[in-house]
Amino acid sequence: MILNGYEIAEKRREQLKEKIEELKNLRIIPKLAVIQVGSNDASNIYIRNKKNTCEKVGIEFELYSYEETITFEELKEEISKLNKDKKIHGILVQSPLPKHLNESEVFNVIQKEKDVDGFTTENIGALWNNKTGLISCTPKGIITLLKEYQIKIEGKHVVILGRSNIVGKPLALLFLNENASVTILHSKSKDIKTLTAQADILVSAVGKPNLVTKDMVKKGAIVIDVGINRIDGHIKGDVDFESVSEIASYITPVPKGVGPMTIESILENVIEAIELQRQKKKDLLK
Ligand code: NAP
């Protein structure tokens, strides 16, 4: 069975629109600020997609573009202004950043209640402690997708290929918080096939086409393909979809699998950010 991220994202977007209308009745117009330093084609496409999707659901979008030569101190000042701006509810820094800027240092300037990417140390700490916070979008989208299909996570053995800060690591924590047992594999892991073949849920977040083949997958496993590989103008995942879909019980396609769920999670995080900011304001008034 195909896990159709595109359809689920569309469905959830309709529900989100209702929440946004309720906020508008309270005179709150959700707004996302995206920060871009320098420019590259892939980032421009991602930003355009985010803008279009935001505008479709009624979230205002504003792009803040800076020269590639901007210093950390200058960027910090700009982000601090957005932190203070009450009309902005979510802030997202488009990566990659130029080499002279340390991504983690830049992310950490963002106020945690506006960190819709969930990349600040405080939000990562909240995830680590299984506490409320904004969760990074691709991992959140994957868990949402599984829950939408009512797939039980508890007790499952999850094997994740990839240990990046934006996908592999936060996803492992999310699965652990859902009471799964988790194995994380990476480029230095040995005997990968033996381990992937034990997975009830296998996630590939590497960025190598056809990395996951049928012989690596247990019959009836759930296969989640996060990879995005551009080949001859087409987008392919990490999983050899044709052969693996013959034995998997559920599988995400690429495109229309994890990608739309990531975008959907950004939108949902903007609305969650508003709730967190309202709660913070109430707590300060106590
Ligand atoms: P990344 O930072 O490059 O991390 C890739 C990970 O894969 C690393 O941990 C690396 O190990 C590991 N790896 C490399 N070769 C391997 C192998 N042969 N076997 C097992 N692990 C291996 O990438 P990322 O940012 O996490 O993204 C991964 C992929 O997902 C990319 O294709 C990206 O475009 C895509 N992506 C998609 C979405 C979406 O919404 N669909 C969102 C984010 C990313 P080391 O740590 O040892 O180097």
End-to-end CA distance of the chain: 50
Measured in angstroms, how far is the CA atom of residue 210 from the centroid of ligand 1? 13
Q: Out of 111, 112, 115, 117, pick the active-site residue.
A: 117
pLDDT tens digits, one per residue of 50-96: 999 999 999 999 999 999 999 999 999 999 999 999 999 999 999 99
Pairing, β 229-231 against β 234-236: antiparallel
CB 114 within 8 A of CB 91: yes
Choose the residue to mutate in 46, 187, 239 for probing ligand 1, maximizing ligand atoms within 8 Å of C-beta. 187
Does domain 137-259 sit in CATH 3.40.50.720?
yes
- pLDDT at position 125 is 97
162 phi-psi bin (left φ>0, alpha ψ -120 to 50, beta other): left
169 falls in which pLDDT band (50, 70, 90)?
very high
Could you confirm whether 36 is annotated as catalytic? no
- Asked if residue 96 has a cis previous peptide bond (ω within 30° of 0), the answer is yes
Q: Is the CB of 161 under 6 A from ligand 1?
A: yes
286 falls in which pLDDT band (50, 70, 90)?
confident
pLDDT tens digits, one per residue of 19-36: 999 999 999 999 999 999
Tell me the C-alpha distance between 209 and 117, whole Å. Answer: 26
Could you confirm whether 50 is annotated as catalytic? yes
Measured in angstroms, how far is the CA atom of residue 274 from the centroid of ligand 1? 31
| Phi–psi pair at 21, nearest 5 degrees | -60, -45
Domain boundaries, the chain: 28-113, 137-259
Does domain 28-113 sit in CATH 3.40.50.150?
no
Could you confirm whether 225 is annotated as catalytic? no
- Please check whether the two domains, 28-113 and 137-259, share a CATH topology: yes
| Single pTM value for the model | 0.97
Q: Is the CB of 162 under 6 A from ligand 1?
A: yes
Closest atom of ligand 1 relative to the 141 alpha carbon: 40
Tell the residue nearest (CA) to atom 3 of ligand 1.
Answer: 206
Average pLDDT over residues 144-171: 98
Query: With 90 as the cut, is the pLDDT of residue 42 above it?
Result: no
Q: Is the CB of 235 under 6 A from ligand 1?
A: no
Q: Is the CB of 38 under 6 A from ligand 1?
A: no
